[in-house]
Structure 1
Amino acid sequence: MPSLACKSYICDPRPHYPLLITAKRYWHPDQDPSEDLDSLTLILAHGTGYHKEQWEPTIEDLYEILRSRGTGAPKVREVWSIDCPNHGEAAVLNEKVLQWGYWDYFDWQEYARCIHIFLTGLGSGVDANFTGRKLVGIGHSMGACALTLAGTFAPELVFHALVLVEPMLYPETTQHTSGSGIGGLIEGALKRRDIWPSREEALSILRSRPAFQQWDPRVLKIFVEDGLRPLPTADYPDRTDGVTLKCSRKLEAACYRNVLGRVRSYNNLPHLCSNLPVHFIYGAISDYLSPEIKSDVVTAAAKGKHASYQEVPGAGHLVLQVRPRGLAIAIATALKPHTAALNASHSRL
């Protein structure tokens, strides 16, 4: 990311919480709105099977879009992207603790709790104070659900707005989404190839597959650079050559088995939409979440009180991977109303 500055963080909340939290901060080196009370701090959360760096092309495009729109565009102080604790670099650091039982079932509320810990300063290692900032949570898929639950822990966490991208929200009675459903996701995760001779060969192999050919090349490269780790690992203690997934097949499948976090997020949505602006962004292609589920979320769950609804052309559920610039445009549009003139104070969860 040549135009943006970046710094990595490890938040350590032990002994009060056992999992380390990894995050990255992004900002434009030529821009210092830190003293501007109207500027926004964006908090990003990713989907199952991915990691915080998957957001980087969208972040870069968003900064470019906002700067091109001039003085009327929302001002962004900085962007923070936070790993789910069993994904990305966090999965490597937490490898031993994740064997306590997190391999079998991983509740998305754990991700929500990590976001809450990070933003409320309940751990060490982060030289930032988020108190009083205009926080805008932007989450994709599982990450969207985690953000809706991050404010349900004490002490109180204040968001200015939420942007939910293809949120995995549907009621308890819904057993399947479009396509193969949850069972298909679990089976696919457990059977996917997860060892390659090197990062270079992994990138070459993935580029040859039709599904990955739809991805933005920048995102696919980041997936290989930041989503893989050298062997050996806890899954493969006897393999000494090659690379494998940081979020292992077991860990990904454990996330798909989540029920409580997803349902609680769905049932919490009316409260959120009544207390702060909630924006929805979906891919225009209903390849995983059906049109009926999308409609149910914005009409039945949100009760029509959502702040905005957009669809990104040419993308389905993996809008972050396939159309990062289109997603950045939609996020910029969602952020547009959130200026001092239209929103003089924070909304509380």
Structure 2
Amino acid sequence: MPIDQHGDAVLDGLSIRALPKVSLHDHLDGALRPATIIELADAAGIDVPETDADDLADWFAEKSDSGSLVEYLKTFDLTTAVMQTREGLTRVAREFVEDLAADGVIYGEVRWAPEQHLAGGLSLDEVVEAVQEGIEEGEDAAESSGRDIRVGQLITAMRHTERSLEIARLAVDWRERGAVGFDIAGPEDGFPPSKHRAAFDYLASEFFPTTVHAGEAAGLDSIRSALIDGRALRLGHGVRLAQDLEVVSRAGEEVLVQFGDLARWVRDREIPLELSPSSNLQTGAIEAWGTLMEDHPFDLLYQLGFAVTVNVDNRLQSRTSLTRELALLAEVFEYGLDDLETFQLNAAAGAFLPVEEREELIELIADGFER
């Protein structure tokens, strides 16, 4: 299914880009416009590998396609470097929201780690305030162009540092001012959620929702820790949960699968999986199954009834959009509009919003797909 010059694709005669969508797993420092990076870097005296926006986009895509999460994460050294001032953070956040709205997203959650943006002398509160200002500017800009979008912050702690409890308190402090949830990110293997149990205990005591990166660069133990130690209401990626599924037999299109206890728990409790197909290929998250999109266990998980959602992870590094991810899946697995609608309804149901607002979001999606 070709993506046109406007980043759109057509399914069953309808524009995928125009369909109402929900984005749950989208990193702020992985969504910068290449031209913005060049401008902010020039103002800050930071060297960039390419001074042309298209060439810089190519550089990010090439460096990110390594098959290793550790190598993939190195590209963020440049993006975070230009996000150390209030002006830079606000601009990046504003453009983040504008780009989501242009892609048909009506609700999004942006995850980012405040502790990575203090080199310019700002405090934790000041960087969160700067990002919130940009989000609100982006929402206003979208509204003025005829698009409605709401974006909430997922305040994130880096799992290889020792600041998770401090960041958890920061998230709770901002819960009425834009923060909707908490996450841990960074190198997963060797840094399980259990190392941050104090932060998760505090968040649980405050009834503050968490999503945890798990099952991307590490396996079932990481997912188990996310659920038990992190009290995760969603799994960031969670793709390696498929390792807890054993295909016993195949007869034509009929597949008999044996569930492990962990997989059955996640499926039966409808814990959303924040799957990011292109990113999962780039980081080697699906290497146990193959290296092509058709090898991704997305369809297996979907057909078995897991609450799968579709996400971009990092739009810049994967040179993608939510429209593109949906188009890729539709082409590879022959999905129709009903399937794409299911993915959006799953995401809406898993959004960190009050139930009344989730129900409203579900109605907007249903109405949009019906039209």
The answer, yes or no, to whether TM exceeds 0.5 is no
Return the structure number with greater helix share: 2
Q: TM-score, normalised by structure 2?
A: 0.35
Q: TM-score, normalised by structure 1?
A: 0.36
